[in-house]
Amino acid sequence: MGYKGTAATAFDELFPAAPDCLPQAFAGETLYSWCARYHRLNGSNNPRVTSRRLFGHSTAGLRPELPSHLANFQNNTHQHLGCLDELLTQRTVLGVFAPFLARGAMAEISRHLSSGNSVAARALLGLSKSGQATRTSLRFCPECINEQLAAYAVTWWQTKNLWPSICICQQHGCLLVQAKDELLHRSSADFFLAHELDASRLNLPPDAPSAQLQLLDGIATWTTTLVQHINGGLDESALRLTYLLQAKKRGWLALDGSLRLKALQESFLSQCAMLATVPAFHFVKDADGINGGFLGSLYRQYPGHRHPSKHIVLMNFLFAEPDEFFKAYATVERTISEAGIQSAQKLVTDTSRKLIKLIEQAGHSVSSAAGVLDIPAEEALAHLNRRNDVARLRRPHIVGTPREIQLREMLRDGRTRTEIAESLSLRPTFIKDYLAQRPELKAQWEAAHTARETEKHRTQLVAALNAHPGLPIKTIRRLPKNGFQWLYNNDREWLQEVLPAIWKR
């Protein structure tokens, strides 16, 4: 195995009576698995003796998800499996917890596990109550086991199958087989290897519908991606705002930034309710509760650990793919670091402010402001009715409808406001306001309207003159629809140029 110099000397000192074989660890193999193979290779029949040899403690090595007394282990094996950090993140359950741990928590947990205080470490991970890690810690894919046996004549436990949110082998598309819980009880704890467990010691998974397999496959992808890409813990506030921002994008946030829990719950359950039958995801059952169960708790602001599986299930539901999450999280994180947490919160609550600004300062109607912000007009209206402090003109619902197109056509055509109001069943004041907010259209309308009026009154006057030849202009002016007065006020040049004769009548 290439031990030379000081390493060989230290190795000989370790177990001088019976030189041990320290096997090479497989990539992605758990620490417990490596210890089990070590136990076999050295022909021991007492797991407690082996655990004491490696960990200086008779059961510290018999915990598949989280062995402790690691300082002793590192010392006794001369860091054969790498440094403590590598050992913890690559060969215990910690890898999947790491992205969700608060700053400093990882170092503290690492200290506790190093010294043998596994109770404190488990409490920091939130595992003292839930028992989730124990329940799922000895799991394997039967196909992978066959492949391992064919290639190496031995099997090993894979770290990713230790992670509670992974219930499927993505390579073979089958559900993981799980050893019975009693194998982990203190009295029966041992160094098990998967191929040595007969069916009586296993819980075989039920047949899963393909939709469920697909969902579990998606969750497994999220899990491995997060473990690979997140260095150091995700910030809890940033994470919560990222979820809220995405909920906003999906239409589950009211304009003031509050969560529309019912709509969120319905959508979540329609997609993810089938997870509740998988033991690792039993928490999904609470999601239809009054406070939204785990859904509500992930959105609410209260400090403390939450199980990674809960985050991962929510992420898988909210975001199309991990990249979308990483981008949204980066935006929130950048805003927090550049402008503070309050600015970041505004990303979530700013729609209400923008809406009010559009209405009060830019003179938009509710429906056109809603159009600008790409939110349903009914929602904007309901929000403003609730607030009751926003000055706005109440207008019929026309903006954004085919009636608006008709309105604009008639305005460009220069029709009178009365005529348009009657034809489209609008109040003339609405048309007046509509034009006041659109100066360009107003100028078009005025030009077209003047042209129409001019044409109309000229025609009326010419008709009156032709109908009453020789009648003096004073009398003509008293006839109905003679057109003269309007032309006298608005088109006097034409009167003088085109009809000089009438000045003499």
Q: By CB under 5 A, name the binding residues for Zn ion.
A: 141, 143-144, 169, 171-172
Q: Residue 462 in contact with residue 454, Cβ under 8 Å?
A: no
Encoding tokens for residue 88? 């913890």
Residues 141 and 168: their CA atoms lie apart, in Å, by 8
Q: How far is the CB of 156 from Zn ion (least distance, A)?
A: 13
Q: Residue 117 in contact with residue 127, Cβ under 8 Å?
A: no
Q: How far is the CB of 375 from Zn ion (least distance, A)?
A: 46
In the complex with Zn ion, the residue whose CB is nearer, 141 or 431, is 141
Q: How far is the CB of 143 from Zn ion (least distance, A)?
A: 4
In the complex with Zn ion, the residue whose CB is nearer, 140 or 252, is 140
In the complex with Zn ion, the residue whose CB is nearer, 33 or 114, is 33
Q: How far is the CB of 138 from Zn ion (least distance, A)?
A: 15
In the complex with Zn ion, the residue whose CB is nearer, 158 or 352, is 158
Encoding tokens for residue 437? 């907010």
Q: How far is the CB of 141 from Zn ion (least distance, A)?
A: 3
Q: How far is the CB of 170 from Zn ion (least distance, A)?
A: 8
Q: How far is the CB of 315 from Zn ion (least distance, A)?
A: 24
Residues 199 and 197: their CA atoms lie apart, in Å, by 7
Residue 434, Cβ neighbours under 10 Å: how many? 24
CA dihedral angle for residue 102, residue 103, residue 104, residue 105, rounded to 10 degrees: 10
Residue type, 7: A
- Rg, the chain, Cα only: 39
DSSP category for residue 29: B
Residues 87 and 30: their CA atoms lie apart, in Å, by 9
Q: Residue 22 in contact with residue 34, Cβ under 8 Å?
A: no
Count the residues in the chain.
505
In the complex with Zn ion, the residue whose CB is nearer, 148 or 368, is 148
